[in-house]
Amino acid sequence: MTSPLSDPSRIARQKALALRNLDLFRASLRPDGHFAALDRDGTPKPGPQELIAISRLVHSYALGHIAGAPDCETIIDTGVRTLWRTLGDDLHGGYLAAVEGDGPVRSDKLAYGHAFVLLAASSAEAAGHPDAARLRQDVTGVLEDRFLDPARGLYEDEFRRDWTRFSQYRGMNANMHATEAHLAAFEITGDQRHLDRAQTILRFFVDEIAATRGWRLTEHYHPDWSVDESYEGDPMFRPAGTTPGHSVEFGRLLLQAWDLAGRPKDDSEAKARALIETALKDAWQPGGGMAYTLDFDGTVLRPDRLWWPVTEGIGAVASLLKLGGTASDREWYVRLWDSAEALFIDDTHGGWFPEAQGTEAKASLFEGKPDIYHALQAELLPLHDGLSGHYTGLKGVLGSE
């Protein structure tokens, strides 16, 4: 049976969505050179310049530039300069979470945000930005020197601006995005330490956690990296329970790392499939979409259906299909895209709505159009054959550079 990855109509739709997404989010760069979040119709909103949002924009427009989309260079260039000059902390090192006007409005140093700086720098370097390597080298050093728990090879989460320790929280999410960033850095540099760091993180969360807990990834940990089942924090970034969208994302990253390591004869494929299939089975909701959070036995805690788990499901199942796939994989890929079309994609203004209830787009956790990053990767990554090699595999897929 023909893979849906090779369906010409699907390919054309994904390309059109990617170009529309890139067009919408150009408004994130205001005429005054500052970055802004967008309302639902794409209008920039007043507010601070945020490390995570700018890093994701740089990464996304770097992918767009490599893929051949027009007019991506300004956001890449302004974003790299903003990360380095505005959000970079000359006083204490590292990168501030958010700035507005003349100073920080959130000054804590987060491993999650620094991971996205590494991803942005790696992608900007792949797109040819002359200052990206310096940014990549600097943030790699900060992650290594400030956030790394050397005994475990995992990243601690948060410090005050002056690197004072105030939190004992340890989390999976920052480490997952650090994995993503290190794989990107390895792809652009060939530096083995980036692949080694990603594999260390993957071994802990996949082999020590998911494999012993029914292939469900737990989010929150004590300082000794034992699971903290009682933790409940920010509902947007640290909700109680498990987050199945992260399981499918980790499954894709496991396959990417396995591919970059030369596809050794091990059980990475089976582990990735277990992560992806368990999350989809547990979280899929009547009417489409994935429940936001689950209890530790896989029952639904928060049935809210957000856009990003669906985008990550698309990328994960696309990876399985690139390995040949099964009839079930083909069905899931079509089901995920059908859900995206019905619940999340905004054909009026472009981009994806952040949350759906029934067939009505709404927002409770997220306002406006939160970011381009998740949706653009769902639109672009299935367009090339590789599990890794995104920077070379995507070259020109949206048109000639």
CB atoms < 10 A from the CB of 169, how many?
A: 17
User: Residue 157 contacts by C-beta under 8 Å, 6 or more apart in sequence?
Assistant: 110, 111, 112, 147, 167, 169, 170, 171, 174
Residues pairing with 109 in the sheet: 159
Residue 194 among the catalytic residues: no
User: Residue 323 contacts by C-beta under 8 Å, 6 or more apart in sequence?
Assistant: 255, 269, 387
Determine which one of 65, 374, 384, 390 is catalytic.
374
Determine which one of 246, 349, 384, 390 is catalytic.
246
Q: Token digits for 230?
A: 């009682």
Residue 330 CB-half CA count within 13 A = 11
Residue 390 among the catalytic residues: no
The catalytic site residues sit at 246, 374
